[in-house]
């Protein structure tokens, strides 16, 4: 069994392996396991029942993710059913520690605390760290970015613009 | 099928559907790249929320109905969105004014729906409110920036609010459907939504140096299917593909 950090969701090891190979197409470095999208997995013989939850309501990747889960597990010989659940609603707290590290290496600043982007909007933030040079001397350019889950920031030291994964609680 | 619940889901979904469509018209036409991206992101959130309501409605209806049937195959008088959200993108101050006047309603509405006895409506509200907080932050910041900005931006923001104000009262006019849903513990209590709305609007208008319009003239009808001429144009656009190529899919 694999215990996802931050959350006590147990995923049978043989299934986890396959799920870890699937990523959110908009953030290819992050597996759906690290993202906290997989909420429940139960295995009964050859039958697997997977529950997933969307990050944002309008996330266009959910349909793709559901069919990729079906495809990957069917290929491994399972009979798969995927259900989309809304409750409890996804929060950025469910992104694993491993996922946060991968985000930063990829150039996306991981979510910090809820007030970070609000403070940034008021020009008071020194919280969000530049994924390039690690300076916290950064500013928000736009609270909406390239996808629903991101805001656009710029580093005042190295001047690189970067994506920040918005905190959702 | 529980027809009242079905109708209530349409009522909840039609506002974000039509507002989401209005905002999608701005894709590639926003006054700056950042606002363009913000407005279309808000549009996407709203469409996502609509999908949850309409998927649920279609499931209740049975008969192989899909979310797309609910969204695309109704006639004008069967849409229950309020007149406010169908108003056109006259200029940026109107876009922001319309958004704020809706967000200030949407937020306390969802707070109420989170406590709904209907588990699916409650789950949708819990999910949506996290997104709507961002919408409200965006629109209220812009109301303040424009209202408390230059003489020209102040004038435009005040004019937009004056022109949109007659449509605000409809948000809180309780239809028999809403009353029934409220009494069953499923729907929102609009009088409580209005209390929060008034306080929020007053606070933001003060910070934005805007005058709350004092004219009493109001216009309503959308919730009952009586729309302004604007909705016809929206539907012509929204429904074109399904009308021209029935049952088409991607
Ligand atoms: Zn930097």
B103 located within any domain: yes
For residue B204, pLDDT over 80 is answered with yes
The number of distinct structural domains making up chain B is 1
Q: Output the pLDDT for position B25.
A: 96
pLDDT band at A5 (very low <50, low <70, confident <90, very high): very low
Q: Mutate which of B44, B106, B118 to test chain A, going by most A C-beta atoms within 10 A?
A: B44
Q: What string of DSSP letters covers chain A?
A: -EE-TTS--EE-HHHHHHHTT-EETTEEEEEHHHHT-EEEEEEETTEEEEEE--SSTT-TTHHHHHHHHHHHHHHTT-EEEEEE--SSPP-GGGS-HHHHHHHHHHTEEPP--THHHHHHHTT----SPPTTT--S-EEEEESS-SSTTEEEEEETTT--EEEEE----
A13 located within any domain: yes
Q: Output the pLDDT for position A7.
A: 53
Domain final residue pick, A63, A94, A125: A94
CA A63 → CA A58, A91, B45, distances in Å? 11, 19, 16
Burial class (CB in 10 A: 0-12, 13-18, 19+), A70: middle
- Structural domain for A123, as ranges: 108-165
A13: its two tokens:
């090891």
- For A49-63, A81-95, A103-117, B96-110, which range has the lowest pLDDT when averaged over its residues? A103-117
pLDDT band at A107 (very low <50, low <70, confident <90, very high): very high
Rounded to 5°, angle at Cα B78 from B74 and B83: 115
Do A75 and A130 lie in a common domain?
no
- Cα distance between residue B182 and residue B111, in whole Å: 14
Per-residue pLDDT of A20-47, as tens digits, reads 999 988 888 899 999 999 999 999 989 9
Distance from CA of A19 to the nearest CA of B (A): 24
Do A65 and A137 lie in a common domain?
no
Q: What is the mean pLDDT of residues B184-195?
A: 98
- For A90-104, B110-124, B223-237, which range has the lowest pLDDT when averaged over its residues? A90-104
- For A10-24, A108-122, A127-141, B46-60, which range has the lowest pLDDT when averaged over its residues? A108-122
Q: Output the pLDDT for position A66.
A: 94
Q: Is B138 on the interface with A (CB under 8 A)?
A: yes
- Cα distance between residue B172 and residue B129, in whole Å: 19
Do A51 and A113 lie in a common domain?
no
| β-strand pairing of A161-165 with A108-109 | parallel
Domain final residue pick, A42, A67, A94: A94
Do A113 and A159 lie in a common domain?
yes
pLDDT band at A6 (very low <50, low <70, confident <90, very high): very low
Determine what percent of chain B is predicted with pLDDT higher than 90.
92
- Structural domain for B36, as ranges: 2-244
Do A22 and A66 lie in a common domain?
yes
Do A18 and A87 lie in a common domain?
yes
Count of CB pairs separated by less than 8 Å, A with B: 71
Distance from CA of B215 to the nearest CA of A (A): 34
Do A13 and A49 lie in a common domain?
yes
B66: its two tokens:
């899909």
* Residues in B 149-178 with any Cβ partner in A closer than 8 A: none
Interface TM-score (ipTM) > 0.90? no
Q: Output the pLDDT for position A118.
A: 56
Determine what percent of chain B is predicted with pLDDT higher than 70.
99
* Residues in B 182-211 with any Cβ partner in A closer than 8 A: none
Do A83 and A6 lie in a common domain?
yes
Determine what percent of chain A is predicted with pLDDT higher than 90.
55
Q: Output the pLDDT for position B171.
A: 98
Nearest CA to B165 out of B210, B213, B208 is that of B213
Distance from CA of B133 to the nearest CA of A (A): 10
The number of distinct structural domains making up chain A is 2
Domain final residue pick, A46, A62, A94: A94
A99 located within any domain: no
Nearest neighbour of B48 by CB, restricted to A59, A88, A168:
A59
> Least CA distance to B48: which residue of chain A?
A58
Average pLDDT for chain A = 86
Per-residue pLDDT of A51-75, as tens digits, reads 999 988 888 888 899 999 999 999 9
CATH of the domain at B26: 1.20.1260.10
CA dihedral B197→B198→B200→B203, nearest 10 degrees, is: 170
B38 located within any domain: yes
- Phi and psi (nearest 5°) for B227? -110, 165
Do A33 and A79 lie in a common domain?
yes
């Amino acid at each position: 069994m694999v215990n996802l950090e931050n959350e006590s969701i147990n995923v049978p090891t043989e299934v986890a392996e396959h799920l870890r190979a699937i990523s959110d197409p908009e953030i290819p470095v992050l597996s759906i396991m690290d993202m906290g999208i997989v909420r429940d997995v139960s295995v009964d013989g050859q039958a697997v029942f997977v529950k997933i939850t969307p990050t944002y309501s309008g996330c266009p990747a959910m349909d793709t993710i559901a069919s990729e889960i079906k495809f990957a597990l069917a290929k491994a010989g399972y009979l798969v059913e995927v259900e989309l659940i809304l409750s409890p609603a996804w929060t950025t707290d469910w992104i694993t520690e491993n996922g946060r590290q991968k985000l930063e290496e990829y150039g996306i600043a991981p979510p910090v605390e809820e007030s970070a982007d609000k403070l940034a909007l008021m020009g008071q933030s020194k919280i969000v760290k530049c994924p390039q040079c690690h300076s916290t001397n950064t500013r928000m350019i736009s609270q909406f970015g390239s996808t629903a889950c991101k805001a656009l920031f710029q580093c005042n030291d190295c001047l690189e613009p970067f994506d920040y994964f918005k905190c959702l609680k | 099928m529980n027809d009242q619940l079905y109708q209530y889901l349409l009522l909840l979904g039609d506002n974000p559907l039509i507002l989401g469509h209005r905002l999608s018209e701005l894709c590639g036409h926003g006054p700056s790249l950042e606002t363009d991206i913000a407005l279309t992101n808000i549009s996407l959130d709203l469409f996502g929320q609509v999908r949850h309501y309409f998927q649920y409605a279609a499931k209740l209806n049975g008969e192989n109905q899909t979310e797309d049937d609910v969204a695309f195959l109704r006639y004008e008088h069967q849409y229950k969105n309020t007149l406010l959200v169908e108003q056109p993108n006259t200029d940026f101050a109107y876009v922001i004014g319309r958004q704020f006047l809706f967000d200030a309603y949407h937020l306390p509405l969802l707070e109420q729906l989170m406590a709904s006895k209907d588990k699916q409506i409650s789950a949708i509200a819990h999910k949506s409110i996290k997104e709507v907080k961002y919408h409200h932050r965006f629109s209220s910041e812009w109301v303040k920036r424009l209202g408390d900005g230059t003489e020209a931006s102040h004038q435009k923001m005040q004019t937009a609010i004056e022109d949109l104000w007659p449509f605000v009262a409809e948000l809180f006019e309780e239809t028999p459907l809403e009353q029934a849903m409220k009494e069953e513990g499923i729907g929102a209590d609009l009088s409580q939504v209005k209390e929060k709305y008034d306080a929020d609007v007053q606070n933001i208008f003060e910070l934005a140096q805007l005058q709350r319009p004092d004219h009493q003239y109001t216009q309503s009808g959308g919730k009952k299917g009586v729309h302004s001429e604007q909705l016809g144009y929206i539907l012509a656009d929204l429904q074109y593909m399904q009308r021209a190529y029935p049952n088409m899919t991607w």
